[in-house]
Amino acid sequence: EHLALWGGRFSSGPSPELARLSKSTQFDWRLADDDIAGSRAHARALGRAGLLTADELQRMEAALDELQRRVDSGEFTPIEDDEDEATALERGLLEIAGDELGGKLRAGRSRNDQIATLIRMWMRRHARVVANQLLNLADALLVQAKEAGHTVMPGRTHMQHAQPVLLAHQLMAHVWPLLRDVERLRDWDKRVDASPYGSGALAGNTLGLEPVAVARELGFTNVTENSIDGTASRDLVAEFSFIMAMAGVDISRLSEEIIIWNTQEFGFVRLDDAYSTGSSIMPQKKNPDIAELARGKAGRLIGDLTGLLATLKGLPTAYARDLQEDKEAVFDQVDTLEVLLPAFTGMIRTMTFNTERLEQQAPTGFALATDIAEWLVKNGVPFRHAHELSGACVKAAESRGVELWDLTDDDFIEIFRGFVEPDVAVNVREVLSTEGSVAARAGKGGTAPNRVREQIMSAKTLIEQL
Ligand code: ARG
C-alpha cells in the first residue's frame, strides 16, 4: 500500500517514524474537494491530449464522482498509511476505478504542482468569506457611527485628552483600515489568479497537456508563467497570511479601545449581556472577553505569518518538503478569523454608548486649548505666540483647579494683553464649546459633523462596491 506512489526504486516502505513525521492528512484533508476538482480538470486534459479514450474519460469522471460522494458522506477518509490528501485520494480512486484506469490519472502531474494549485484555490475561496465578514464588521461600525449622530467625546493622543471629536469620527477611524484589508484581499486575488497545474514537479510536462483549460476549469484566468516559480514560490501564501495578520491587528486595536471604554473609570460603552461573560467567583463581574480574545488571537495570527516567513527564508527555489509547512499557518489564521469575526461583529452591533458621559468628558482636560490658539491666529496673533498665550490660559485654569471656560473675562484680557484688544479678548468664549470646536474642523477628513456625514456616505458606497 505505502509503495503505491514511488515503489519502483525502493526495497522497503517508510519506517514507522518517517511515516509519522511525513504524514499531513490530519490537516490537509480539507483540500480533498479541491484536489478532486483538479483531478477532473486533469482527466479532461489527458483526454484532449489523447492519453485517455473517450470511454476511459467517461469512466474516470464517473469514478471521480463516486470518490467525491464517498468523501462527502465520510465513507472515505484517510487511513494511517496515507501520507497526504493526494495519496489518500489516489488510493480511493484506485479502489473505485481499478489499478488499470485509476493508474492513468497521475500522468503529467506531480503533487508539487497539485498542492501549489490547491492551496491557491482554498485561499481564494476563504478570502471571499473573510472579506465578507470584514465588510459586516465595517457595516456594524458604520451603523453605530450613524446612530452616534453629533455625540462628542474626548479625542486622545498619548491616551491624554487632546481635542474633542465626534464619536462617529472615532468609530469610522476603525472602518477604513478594515476596508483596506478587504481591498488588499481583492488586489491579492489578481496576483493569485494563476494556476500552477501543469508545472509538474518543477520543469513542466512532456505530455502536451494544455494548462490553460485546466486553469479555467479551476477558476483561474491564467497559468503561472514559470513552472519552477509555480511550484516553489509561496509569496502569495505569505501575502495572504499578512492580510490575515493585519486584519487581526486592526481588530485588536479596536478591541483595546473597547476594553478601556468598558472600564468603570471610563464608562463610555456598555456591552450586551449576550456578548459578555461573567466570573465564576465574582458575581458582579461582566467581562469583555470577546475583545480580549480578539486581542489575544492577533498574537497567534502574527505568529502564523512570521513562522511562514521563517520557513521560506532559506529555501532554494524549487520544491522542497519544507513547503508543506505553509498550510497549517493559513488554515489556522482563517479558522481563527472565521470564528472570531461573527462574535466580534455581534458585540459591536449590540454595544451601547453612554452619550451623556462622553459629552461631559469631551471638553475636559483643557481639550479646547488648541481652539484658543487657533482663535488667536484668526485674530492676527502668530501661532508661536498664540500657542504660548493659550498655554498660559491652561496654566491659570490648572492652578485654580478649574476648566478653561471657568476663566473670567478679566483673565482673558490680562493673558492676551499686548496681542488682542480687551473688547475682542472676551470673544474667545465663542470657541470654548465642544460643538464649536468640532464644527470648526471642517476641512476634508475633519471631525465636523457634515464632514463625518460625507465620510459615512463614502464608506457606505465603498462597502457596497467591495
Ligand atoms: N504534501 C506535500 C505538500 O503539502 C506535497 C507532496 C509533495 N511531496 C514531495 N515529496 N514532493 O507540500
Which residue, by CA, sits nearest to atom 2 of ligand 1? 324
| Pair 122, 95 in one domain | no
Q: Which atom of ligand 1 is nearest to the CA of 83?
A: 1
Amino acid at 452: V
Query: pLDDT tens for residues 146-195?
Result: 999 999 999 999 999 999 999 999 999 999 999 999 999 999 999 999 99
Q: How far apart are CA 174 and CA 183, in angstroms?
A: 15
Outline where DSSP puts E strands in 314-456: 352-353
Say yes or no: 313 and 413 in one domain: no
Please compute the mean of the pLDDT values over residues 438-457 and round it to a whole number. Answer: 96
Examine the residue annotation and report whether 73 is marked as an active-site residue of this protein.
no
Query: Same structural domain for residues 124 and 142?
Result: yes
Do residue 313 and residue 406 come from a single domain?
Answer: no
- Grid cell locating 452: 463625518
Q: In terms of domains, do 290 and 381 share one? A: no
* Ordered DSSP codes for 72-111: HHTSS---TT--SHHHHHHHHHHHHHHHHHHTTTTTT--H
380-396 residue pLDDT tens: 999 999 999 999 999 99
Q: What average pLDDT score do residues 292-300 get?
A: 98
Ligand 1: residue of 319, 326, 331 to mutate (most ligand atoms within 8 A of CB) is: 319
Is 85 close to ligand 1, i.e. is its CB under 6 Å away?
A: no
In the numeric block, the cell 484532449 is attached to 48
Which of 201-215, 222-236, 432-446 is modeled with the greatest confidence? Answer: 222-236
Q: Which of 12, 15, 158, 280 is catalytic?
A: 158
Any domain includes 210: no
Are 309 and 381 contained in the same domain? no
Q: Is residue 279 part of a domain?
A: yes
From 81, 107, 133, the end of a domain falls on 107
Residue bearing the CA closest to ligand 1, atom 3: 324
Spacing, Cα 31 to ligand 1 middle (Å): 13
- pLDDT tens-digit map of 27-56: 999 999 999 999 999 999 999 999 999 999
Please state, in angstroms and rounded to a whole number, the distance separating the CA atoms of residues 287 and 105: 56
Whether 76 is in a domain gets the answer yes
Domain boundary pick from 339, 360, 381: 360
Domain termination site, one of 91, 107, 123: 107
Give Cα separations from 278 to 271, 342, 454 (angstroms). Answer: 12, 20, 40
Per-residue pLDDT reduced to its tens digit, 345-382: 999 999 999 999 999 999 999 999 999 999 999 999 99
323 and 267 within one domain = yes
> In sequence order, which residues have a C-beta less than 8 Å from that of residue 144 and are 6 or more positions away?
171, 348, 349, 351, 353
Q: What is the mean pLDDT of residues 282-286?
A: 86
For residues 306 and 199, what is the distance between their CA atoms, to the nearest angstrom?
A: 28
Same domain (yes/no): 14, 75: yes
Task: Report whether 127 contacts 236 (CB < 8 A).
Answer: no
Residue 432 DSSP symbol: -
* b/e 14-38 (16+ beta carbons within 10 angstroms → b): beeeeeeeebbbeebbebbbbbbbb
When computed from its CA atoms, the radius of gyration of the chain, rounded to whole angstroms, is: 31
Q: For the packed helices 111-148 and 235-261, what is the interaxial angle rounded to 10 degrees?
A: 30
Contact 196, 227 (CB under 8 A): yes
Q: Tell whether 333 and 284 lie within a shared domain.
A: yes
Is residue 272 included in any domain, yes or no?
yes
Apex CA 397: angle with CA 396 and CA 402, to 5°? 155
- Our answer on whether the CB atom of 5 is closer than 6 Å to any ligand 1 atom is no
- Whether 439 is in a domain gets the answer no
CA 434 to chain centre: 35
Span from the CA of 22 to the centroid of ligand 1 (angstroms): 9
As a whole number of angstroms, the distance between CA 312 and CA 323 comes to: 8
Is the CB–ligand 1 distance for residue 42 below 6 Å?
A: no
Nearest to 320 by CA among 97, 112, 42: 112
Q: Region 262-283: what's the mean pLDDT? A: 93
With respect to residue 462, please indicate whether it lies within any of the assigned structural domains. Answer: no
CA-nearest of 329, 406, 409 to 363 is 406
Say yes or no: CB of residue 25 within 6 Å of ligand 1. Answer: no
Residue 114 Cα: closest atom of ligand 1 = 5
Is residue 236, in this structure, part of any structural domain at all?
yes
Query: Quick one: 345 and 414 in the same domain?
Result: no
Identify the CATH number of the domain in which residue 375 sits.
1.10.40.30
DSSP category for residue 221: S
Q: How far apart are the C-alpha atoms of 342 and 328, rounded to whole Å?
A: 22
Instruction: Check residue 430 and give its pLDDT.
Output: 87
DSSP bridge partners of 154:
164
Pocket of ligand 1 contains residue 112 by CB under 6 Å? yes
Domain tally, the chain: 3
Statement: residue 1 has pLDDT above 70: no
CATH number of residue 172's parent domain: 1.20.200.10
Query: ipTM of this predicted complex?
Result: 0.96
Report the separation in Å between the CA atom of 111 and the middle of ligand 1, taken as the mean of its atom positions: 6
Inter-residue contact 244 to 71 (CB < 8 Å): no
Ligand 1 lined by 117 (C-beta under 6 Å) = no
**Predicted local distance difference test score (pLDDT) of residue 10:** 85
- Within this chain, do residues 161 and 307 fall inside the same structural domain, yes or no? yes
Strands 152-157 and 269-270: unpaired
Q: Average per-residue pLDDT in the chain?
A: 96
Do 128 and 46 fall into the same domain?
no
CATH number at residue 21: 1.10.275.10
Question: Is 445 inside a domain boundary?
Answer: no
Residue 169's Cβ-count burial label (10 Å; 0-12, 13-18, 19+) is buried
Question: What pLDDT does residue 197 have?
Answer: 97
Active site (annotated) includes residue 385: no
User: What's residue 176's pLDDT?
Assistant: 98
Q: Where in the sequence is the domain holding 236, given as residue range(s)?
A: 112-149+156-202+225-360
DSSP-derived 3-state class of residue 291: helix
> Which pLDDT belongs to residue 4?
62
- Helices (H) then strands (E): counts for the chain: 19, 6
